[in-house]
Amino acid sequence: MEYMVKTQALLHKRVVQHVLYWLSVLAVMTVLYSIYIKSYLASFSFMIFFLPIHMAYFYIMAYVVIPKMLFTKKYIWFFLSVFACALVAALLFRLAEIFYADPLTYKLLVKLNGPFVWDRIQGSFWEQITRFSAFMAAMEQTNNAAWVAIAIKLLKMYYERKEAATQAELSFLKNQVHPHFLFNTLNNLYALTLNQSPQSPTVVMGLSQILRYILYECDTPTVKLAKELDIIEQYIALEKLRHTQALDLTFHVNGSIQDQEIAPLLLLPLVENAFKHGVHEDMQEAWVTIQIMVKEERFSFKISNSKPAKPMIKLSMVPKGNIGLANLTKRLNMLYPNAHKLRIYDDDEHLFAVVLELTLTPVANKKAAGSLRVKKLYPEQLLALNKSETIK
């Protein structure tokens, strides 16, 4: 039902656009021709007579020739069809001139200027229809209106296809996050089951909540920032369960997050990256710090983590094997062009930090209410958080 409503709305919009265009063509042609014959009424009657020829030429080209021949790469047939359509349209235009427009135009000009010899109406029908100058003028007039409309349609189709390609790439990039996250989490679960950890059911429960969000709530261009941060907290809880050694974990939020929206799954890869490369079982003092600041539409996300004494993987701006950061960089360039900054700091000995700044989308009809929270996070607290009470 919703699809039918959208289809009808789109169809109605297109009909209105086409009607407005052809009315504009009619008005412009009427004004231009009236300059020559000094009569708006006569000029309007001529253009009404010619308009169906322009329209038929355009719709055959736009909805038959171009999609069936140009888009299917039948270039020879396309050029032959274009030539045939232009020839037929010019011929019909010329016939309308010979039998209707030219005789009436001549009468009007005689009333204005007195009797004169007009070469355009001289000779037999065959002589008039084959007069080269008159035929070329007819071809020019029929092509003007039709090809302006065709150019507009092709330009519109170009942008629509470009937008569709962009959306497809965004969807592909976002879907890459799903298996990447699932792979990492299943690895964590596997490690726990090997040790027959009693925490395994808790991990499965937390994983199911995150997967529910990824699969069913991330199919929109933006999600509420509060919900996105809630999922991050759920993920942190899973990581906290896995790392039994001392882990200093801080989550700091400053500002209102209830009245903002963000593209889904932008922040999770950064959190995954921090735990993957910054927290190891053999580290004595592992730590992860997340600092979030929201001020009106400005959003800052800073995450830093400790580094092992001898890192196994060299981190860089977009590592070749790091799907998360490479994916994030591409998505930011597409979703927030000229509205984001991504800075990565890599201290070889002490820390790795990422700072992401965005211009967010405000939620309509929401009132900002500032808040400040600094928390040490513990798994049993995170998994028990109610979604509506995540950040207050």
Q: Is a pLDDT exceeding 80 seen at residue 249?
A: yes
The answer to whether the CB of 346 falls within 8 A of the CB of 337 is: no
For 345-363, the pLDDT digits (tens) are: 887 677 889 999 998 876 5
Burial class (CB in 10 A: 0-12, 13-18, 19+), 142: buried
At 89 the pLDDT is: 92
At 143 the pLDDT is: 87
Distance CA 218, CA 273 (A): 20
At 180 the pLDDT is: 57
In this prediction, residues 163-171 reach a mean pLDDT of 65
Flag the least confident range among 74-78, 92-96, 200-204, 375-379.
375-379
At 60 the pLDDT is: 93
Instruction: Pick the more confident residue, 229 or 320.
Output: 229
In this prediction, residues 302-321 reach a mean pLDDT of 60
DSSP E strands, the chain: 223-224, 247-254, 260-262, 286-295, 298-306, 340-346, 351-359, 361-362, 372-376
Helix or strand or coil: residue 366? coil
In this prediction, residues 178-201 reach a mean pLDDT of 65
List, as one string, the DSSP characters of 287-313. EEEEEEEEETTEEEEEEEEE--SS-SS
pLDDT tier, 317 (very low <50, low <70, confident <90, very high otherwise): very low
Q: Is a pLDDT exceeding 80 seen at residue 194?
A: no
Distance CA 139, CA 87 (A): 7
At 310 the pLDDT is: 60
Q: Is a pLDDT exceeding 90 seen at residue 280?
A: no
The answer to whether the CB of 374 falls within 8 A of the CB of 252 is: yes
The answer to whether the CB of 268 falls within 8 A of the CB of 232 is: yes
For 222, which DSSP code?
A: -
pLDDT tier, 367 (very low <50, low <70, confident <90, very high otherwise): very low
pLDDT tier, 85 (very low <50, low <70, confident <90, very high otherwise): very high
Q: Is a pLDDT exceeding 60 seen at residue 288?
A: yes
pLDDT tier, 59 (very low <50, low <70, confident <90, very high otherwise): very high
Token digits of residue 283:
């580290």
Nearest C-alpha neighbor of 209 from the set 53, 56, 385, 51: 385
Flag the least confident range among 59-63, 337-341, 365-369.
365-369
Phi and psi angles of residue 385, each rounded to the nearest 5 degrees, phi first:
-65, 135
pLDDT tier, 87 (very low <50, low <70, confident <90, very high otherwise): very high
At 384 the pLDDT is: 41
Q: Which domains does the chain have, with CATH numbers?
A: 2-162 (no CATH), 197-389 (3.30.565.10)
pLDDT tier, 387 (very low <50, low <70, confident <90, very high otherwise): very low
Flag the least confident range among 188-202, 241-255, 307-321, 330-344.
307-321
The answer to whether the CB of 115 falls within 8 A of the CB of 108 is: no
- Mean pLDDT, the chain, as a whole number? 77
Token digits of residue 266:
């932008």
Token digits of residue 31:
């004004």
Q: Can you tell me which residue has the tokens 């927030």?
A: 336
Distance CA 263, CA 331 (A): 9
Token digits of residue 26:
């009619």
User: Angle formed by the axes of helices 40-60 and 75-96, to 10°?
Assistant: 160
At 357 the pLDDT is: 92
Q: Is a pLDDT exceeding 80 seen at residue 127?
A: yes
The answer to whether the CB of 85 falls within 8 A of the CB of 66 is: no
At 297 the pLDDT is: 86
At 244 the pLDDT is: 61
Angle at 87 between CA 81 and CA 89, to 5 degrees: 100
For 41-55, the pLDDT digits (tens) are: 888 888 888 999 999
Length of the chain: 392
At 292 the pLDDT is: 92
Q: Is a pLDDT exceeding 90 seen at residue 79?
A: yes
Percentage of the chain beyond pLDDT 90 is 14
Flag the least confident range among 44-58, 153-167, 187-201.
187-201
At 43 the pLDDT is: 86
In this prediction, residues 6-27 reach a mean pLDDT of 86
Contacts of 138 (CB under 8 A, 6+ apart): 90, 91, 93, 94, 97
> Across 170-184, 292-306, 377-391, which has the greatest mean pLDDT?
292-306
